[in-house]
Amino acid sequence: MEEIKTGVYICHCGLNIAGTVNVEEVARYAGTLPNVVVARDYRYMCSDPGQALIKDDIKNLGLNRVVVASCSPRMHEPTFRRACQDAGLNPYLFEHANIREHCSWVHDDRQIATEKAKDLVRAAVRRVFYNEPLEIKERPLNPNVLVVGGGIAGIQAALDIANGEHRVYLVEKEPAIGGHMAQLDRTFPTLDCSECILTPKMTEVGQHPFITLLAYSEVEEVAGSVGNFKVRVKKKARYVDEEKCTGCGVCEEKCPWKVDSEYEVGMGKRGVVYVPFAQAIPHVATIDKERCVYFLKGKCRACEKFCDAKAIDFEQKDEIVELEVGSIILTTGYDVFDSRRIPQYGYGRYDNVLTGLEFERMTCAAGPTGGKVLLKDGRQPESVAIIHCVGSRDENYHEYCSRVCCMYALKYAHLIKENTQAEVYQMYIDMRCFGEGFEEFYRRVCDEGVNFIRGKVAKVTDVALTEGEQGKLAVIAEDTLLGGIIRVPVDMVILCPALEARFGAEDVAKLFTINRRADGFFMERHVKLDPVATATEGVYIAGCCEGPKDIPDTVAQASAAAAKALSVISRGRVVIEPTTAQVNEVLCQACGRCEEICDFHAPKVISKDGLRVSSVDAALCKGCGACAVVCPTGAMSVRHSTREQINGMVEALLEV
Amino acid sequence: MAEFEPKIIAFCCNWCTYAAADIAGTSRIHYPANVRIVRVMCSGMVDPIYILKAFEMGADGVLIAGCHEADCHYLNGPLKCDAMFEKIKRVVNILGLEGERLRREMIAAAEAPVFAELIEEMVKQLKKLGPSPLREGVKV
Ligand SMILES: Cc1cc2nc3c(=O)[nH]c(=O)nc-3n(C[C@H](O)[C@H](O)[C@H](O)COP(=O)(O)OP(=O)(O)OC[C@H]3O[C@@H](n4cnc5c(N)ncnc54)[C@H](O)[C@@H]3O)c2cc1C
């Protein structure tokens, strides 16, 4: 066996490590460990000169193992592996000791931290002794992309990729794309109409030769890995033939049954057979089976009688579509916090307490009131209070700021001033107007004579204490600038509820094996430096599924995610992780336990030269190691996570 | 005599608990230095041999921590880990070790404070229990 020559490099990371850990002492100590031929400390190992130290030592001293003790391997393992590779050393002969995140940043006693750093370095030196060079193979990839969620994020990502002439499958669970943006009236800070800027994009999606739109569909199963995902999509039965339906709307007109429209957030009605909204893409009808009298009672079929295109099909079945894609972009958006959860604000009890989304529909010219700001009894309000941070910045609900409410609250103030003579009160905690043109818009609304009251609203009540409160709603708040409790009588209250993680986000995260943050939104690989990638290679996130944000930020993120997917496509190949399971055929008894435990069907007991042995399909293996644990003979192991490597670390950590 | 400082070996899954410990670092959430983290790709990869090796080598406590069921990078790793854990727990009891010395926890990447609190709590508990009866070279 060749002699093992290990080089050890201790990083100061400026003072991040050296401030707590005596790095010179750790380096001196490392130099005394078995098989270590050189041990150095340096200010920034990740810098070019830091990496050059490693490369030069590999060339000049003939190193065949390298250990760097610095930050987390989750941060710089790829950097140092590349440095090794550049100098001709197999990257799997590198080992990383985490003496920053797991040591200098969490302990403050210099001696204790230094001792711990020595232990971690010793363990890494032991582990690397057992590391083996692994062959890195590449395989071709499938250039198709799956986009899940057809809000503005999904629409933008799909168009960016399709305009590069790559196939996009856009899966939307609702009958039409558009998401929340399709429900908005005008958008801050420029007040351009949402419909006017969204409709052309939706139409483009509907007509794009490189986009396959699967609306009213949901992803059921995902297998494979970056470059080669296999996805099963359920296309739910609409009971309307999409090819034949012209979207003329006669069926909806003739449908004798009317229910609350989701699009109008309950402020308008739709038929049980319906086209969700005028600009809906795809522009076809859908029968709401749960509420259709024919499906419930076996009688009606009025829609069928009046459909000239003969598109109604009560026999239609759910359809399974199998897709093959190389990367996946999740754009599943957000839910609006249910304001009923804060009963003291009276939503659901008082007629004239509305949510933001309801107010969007009210000011929309095509909406249920024809764009007029009206009270339930048809009068115009003389005064309106807008309550910020309903469920946001509130430790009882969501601690985070929802980022868009201050701005749409200002937008509402402006629209109310434009449409009515009403007095407007903004009841805010802090005004957060940080984006392009936001501060200017804030100034403009201030100049329009809107009242700003700083303080958290305690309660909305219809119990009048004074003459002036008769027939009105009193908003009770603490004015933190005046330092007292105030009561503001108004005709209408608009709540600004939090944007929250979508119901079912947990299932979506599990389906695509990505993580969620404590607040429930999808977690990015790195908050600052990798904001649209996830823990799973080839799966990207964009828009409000990653956290509350406005349309400009959503679109920017969607384009970023598309660029990530396009860069995978343009490379044309993916690296096959060599860290898969392997069988020692001499030890294997062909018991089949590995086959049983594997969720990816990677190991299979086969006949080989007349002998029964287990064999692992590397393309399917994810390297989770469950098979190695259940293997009774020790025949199964995972490359780069072998028993020698892990036991070696345990031994090294505890032997002094 | 100096106070007894327990040694804890923590097998942490790369995707969740190892990341939680990283975020504890980034957020400067301090915890006792008694723990040594061994990175594994999945909690379901932790072989009973590693646990026995740690106790044999004189560890006072062993922690196996990884993703919650729903977060697993490999679908069902935590369930497989649980099954292994139930078995090894019995063995550990037979060896005469107190059950509290071996812990199995699920800590998501976002739960850095939970990780720090857990280490704090384990150290407290192990100080009460005293050194492992298997220390001093008693072989398994
Ligand atoms: C009251 C209000 C007013 C606002 N006003 C403004 C404004 O004036 N200006 C501004 O810039 N921003 C505004 N916003 C913010 C804006 O709504 C968001 O920035 C934007 O809609 C985010 O788009 P998205 O695509 O990420 O999410 P969404 O719009 O939520 O779209 C997500 C889509 O994914 C689909 N989906 C979800 N789960 C699945 C699944 N499992 N499978 C398939 N499909 C799925 C959904 O049906 C939906 O179509 C406002 C928000 C609110 C609540």
Beta bridge partners of A260: A269
pTM of the model: 0.85
Angle formed at CA A88 by CA A84 and CA A94, multiple of 5 degrees: 30
CA distances from A275 to A148, A176, A195, A216 (A): 21, 8, 16, 12
For domain A578-639, the CATH class is: alpha beta
Q: Is residue B107 part of a domain?
A: yes
Average confidence score pLDDT of chain A: 96
pLDDT at A146: 98
Residue A2: is its pLDDT beyond 90? Answer: no
Give residue A151 CA to ligand 1 midpoint distance, Å: 6
The chain A residue lying nearest B80, using CA atoms, is: A626
* CATH code where residue B14 lies: 3.40.50
Share of chain A above pLDDT 90, in %: 94
Cα–Cα distance for residue pair A49/A57, rounded to 1 Å: 12
Q: Name the more confident of A619 and A64.
A: A64
Residue A161: is its pLDDT beyond 70? Answer: yes
CATH 3.50.50.60 is the classification of domain A336-500: yes
Per-residue tokens: A545: 């599924």
pLDDT at A525: 86
Angle formed at CA A62 by CA A60 and CA A63, multiple of 5 degrees: 115
Amino acid present at A68: V
DSSP A242: T
pLDDT at B118: 98
Set of chain A residues whose Cβ sits within 8 Å of the Cβ of B7 = 654
Give A423-460 pLDDT, tens digit per residue: 999 999 999 999 999 999 999 999 999 999 999 999 99
For domain A146-229+318-333+502-576, the CATH class is: alpha beta
- C-beta neighbour count of A196 within 10 angstroms: 10
Strand A65-70 versus strand A6-11 pairing type: parallel
Angle formed at CA A531 by CA A530 and CA A533, multiple of 5 degrees: 70
Give A12-29 pLDDT, tens digit per residue: 999 999 999 999 999 999
Residue A92: is its pLDDT beyond 90? Answer: yes
Give B7-22 pLDDT, tens digit per residue: 999 999 999 999 999 9
From A148, A184, A347, the mutation candidate for ligand 1 (largest count of ligand atoms within 8 A of CB) is A184
A425, containing H or E segment: strand A423-428
Contact A144, A167 (CB under 8 A): yes
Q: What is the DSSP string of A127-173?
A: HHHH------EEEE----EEEE--SHHHHHHHHHHHHTT--EEEEES
Residue B137: is its pLDDT beyond 60? Answer: no
For domain A6-134, the CATH class is: alpha beta
Q: Could A641 and B40 be called an inter-chain contact, meaning their C-beta atoms sit closer than 8 Å?
A: yes
Residues found in chain A: 656
Share of chain A above pLDDT 70, in %: 100
In sequence order, the 6+-apart residues with CB closer than 8 A to the CB of B41 are: A579, A623, A624, A625, A638, A641, B13, B14, B15
Q: Is residue B1 part of a domain?
A: no
Beta bridge partners of A424: A384
Strand A36-42 versus strand A492-497 pairing type: unpaired
What is the predicted ipTM? Answer: 0.96
pLDDT bracket for residue B1 (50, 70, 90) = low
Could you give the 3-state DSSP secondary structure of residue A453? Answer: strand
For domain A237-314, the CATH class is: alpha beta
Domain of residue B74 covers: 8-131
Taking residues A635-641, what's their average pLDDT?
A: 98
pLDDT bracket for residue B75 (50, 70, 90) = confident
Give residue A181 CA to ligand 1 midpoint distance, Å: 6
Q: Which of A101, A109, A399, A516 to mutate to test the interface with B (most CBs of B within 10 A)?
A: A101
Q: Is residue B79 part of a domain?
A: yes
Q: Could A101 and B24 be called an inter-chain contact, meaning their C-beta atoms sit closer than 8 Å?
A: yes
Judged by CB atoms within 8 Å, which residues 427-456 of A form the interface with B? none
B8, containing H or E segment: strand B8-13
Could you give the 3-state DSSP secondary structure of residue A266? Answer: coil
Give A464-486 pLDDT, tens digit per residue: 999 999 999 999 999 999 999 99
pLDDT at B138: 45
Rounded to a whole number of angstroms, the distance from the CA of A221 to the nearest CA of chain B is 12
Taking residues A556-583, what's their average pLDDT?
A: 95
pLDDT at A422: 97
Contact A580, A639 (CB under 8 A): yes
Average confidence score pLDDT of chain B: 93
**Count of domains in chain B?**
1
Give B114-130 pLDDT, tens digit per residue: 999 999 999 999 999 99
pLDDT at A601: 87
Task: Kindly list the protein residues whose Cβ atom lies closer than 6 A to any atom of ligand 1.
Answer: A 148-154, 171-174, 179-181, 184, 187-188, 218, 331-334, 336, 356-357, 360, 404, 408, 411, 499, 502, 508, 543-544, 549-552, 554
Looking at B1-140, list the stretches that DSSP marks H as alpha helix, in order from N- to C-terminal side.
Answer: 17-26, 48-56, 77-94, 112-129
The domain locations on chain A are 6-134, 146-229+318-333+502-576, 237-314, 336-500, 578-639
Could you give the 3-state DSSP secondary structure of residue A122? Answer: helix
Give A495-543 pLDDT, tens digit per residue: 999 999 999 999 999 899 888 888 999 999 888 889 999 988 899 999 9
Could you give the 3-state DSSP secondary structure of residue A499? Answer: strand
CA distances from A578 to A33, A67, A600 (A): 29, 20, 16
Give A593-624 pLDDT, tens digit per residue: 999 999 888 999 999 999 999 999 987 899 99
Could you give the 3-state DSSP secondary structure of residue A635? Answer: coil
Q: Is A654 on the interface with B (CB under 8 A)?
A: yes
Q: Could A74 and B19 be called an inter-chain contact, meaning their C-beta atoms sit closer than 8 Å?
A: yes
Burial of A241 from C-beta contacts in 10 A (0-12 / 13-18 / 19+): middle
Residue B139: is its pLDDT beyond 60? Answer: no
pLDDT at A225: 86
